[in-house]
Amino acid sequence: MASAFRIVTWNINSVRLRIGLVERLLKEFEPDILCLQEIKCRDGEFPLAAIRKTGYEHCAVHGQKGYHGVALVSRHPLENVTRRHFCDQTDARHIAADVEIDGAPINIENYYVPAGGDVPDVKANPKFAHKLAFVDEMQARYAADRTSRSRTILVGDLNIAPLETDVWSHKQLLKVVSHTPVETDGLNRVLADGGWVDAMRSHIPPEERLYTWWSYRSPNWEKSDKGRRLDHVWITEDLQPALCAVDVHKPARGWEKPSDHAPVIADFDFG
């Protein structure tokens, strides 16, 4: 018997302000699990009641006051929830859990990588140094347990657009934080050394332009279409045969009072 599994990742840019959009996404797409970033609230302020009303009983939150913060919203029980800290900082940028699908656990890793500030210089800009150190720590972690890892999905706002077709202008963004060579090289090392598959690019050709984020600062974001692919879905190789579809739901960027990120939807079929 075939068993379908749908995961969505979305930088919501304040879950309390946009709880209505979260409810809409859950109703329209009925994912098995929704991974949120930039919830911008403490654990106790997460809008659990509204989410439970939509039929999602299982939430795990790693929040903090005002900034950052990640969460998992699931139809299935969340086991072995972990909240990892990077670079010896207290920022809430990671949460992970197992969900049982088709009789075996799948490990979900949800990240919000630091944006890195405006100046792509580690000496002049500590936020850029923090971003690179964070990515290096991810690399070390996943390179170390590569051979023992299976049935894992890594998602989130990684704040780096690695391919030339992941940005509206490769040439104009080479010195812009999110697309500098030191960042894209770093992210590519996490991907390669960890043995990950870029699920979005395994279903959407790398020659095709693909964005998940359009700045609020552009008054006509859709027409100018100066986007970047900052949000990602990576999978371990054993999950590749089960992956059947990937979609960036661009219409959500045009919903009322939107997040500046569109949700990314990945569908699997086990069985």
Partner DNA sequence: ATGGTAGGACACCTA
Q: Which is nearer to DNA, 3 or 89 (CB)?
A: 89
- CA 131 to CA 121: how far, in whole Å? 11
Binding span for DNA by CB under 7 A among 24-32, 65-73, 182-190, 262-270: 65-73
Instruction: Note whether 44 binds DNA by CB under 7 A.
Output: no
Binding span for DNA by CB under 7 A among 112-120, 163-171, 183-191, 246-254: 112-120
Q: Which is nearer to DNA, 226 or 249 (CB)?
A: 226
- H, E, C per residue of 18-77: CHHHHHHHHHHHCCCEEEEECCCCCHHHCCHHHHHHCCCCEEEEECCCCCCCEEEEECCC
Instruction: Note whether 212 binds DNA by CB under 7 A.
Output: no
Q: Which is nearer to DNA, 116 or 194 (CB)?
A: 116
- CA 47 to CA 40: how far, in whole Å? 12
Instruction: Judge contact between 263 and 247, C-beta under 8 A.
Output: no
Residue 216 Cβ vs DNA, minimum distance, rounded to whole Å: 4
Q: Indicate which single residue of 104, 225, 257, 271 sits in contact with DNA (rule: CB under 7 A).
A: 257
Q: Which is nearer to DNA, 114 or 194 (CB)?
A: 114
Residue 69 Cβ vs DNA, minimum distance, rounded to whole Å: 10
Q: Indicate which single residue of 17, 124, 140, 144 sits in contact with DNA (rule: CB under 7 A).
A: 17
Please give the single-letter amino acid code of residue 95.
I
Considering only residues 144 to 203 of the shown chain, the ones binding DNA according to CB under 7 A are 159
Q: Which helix (H) or strand (E) holds 95?
A: strand 94-101
Question: If 0-12 CB within 10 Å is exposed, 13-18 middle and 19+ buried, where does residue 261 land?
Answer: buried
Query: How many residues touch DNA (CB under 7 A)?
Result: 22
Q: What SS3 state is found at 170?
A: helix
Q: Indicate which single residue of 41, 155, 158, 246 sits in contact with DNA (rule: CB under 7 A).
A: 41
Q: Which structure tokens are listed for 93?
A: 């940028």
Q: Indicate which single residue of 40, 62, 201, 229 sits in contact with DNA (rule: CB under 7 A).
A: 40
Radius of gyration of the chain, Cα coordinates, nearest whole angstrom? 17
Farthest CA pair distance, the chain? 57
Q: Indicate which single residue of 27, 52, 53, 65 sits in contact with DNA (rule: CB under 7 A).
A: 65
Q: Given the rule CB under 7 A, which residues bind DNA?
A: 13-14, 16-17, 38, 40-41, 65-68, 114-117, 127, 159, 215-217, 219, 257
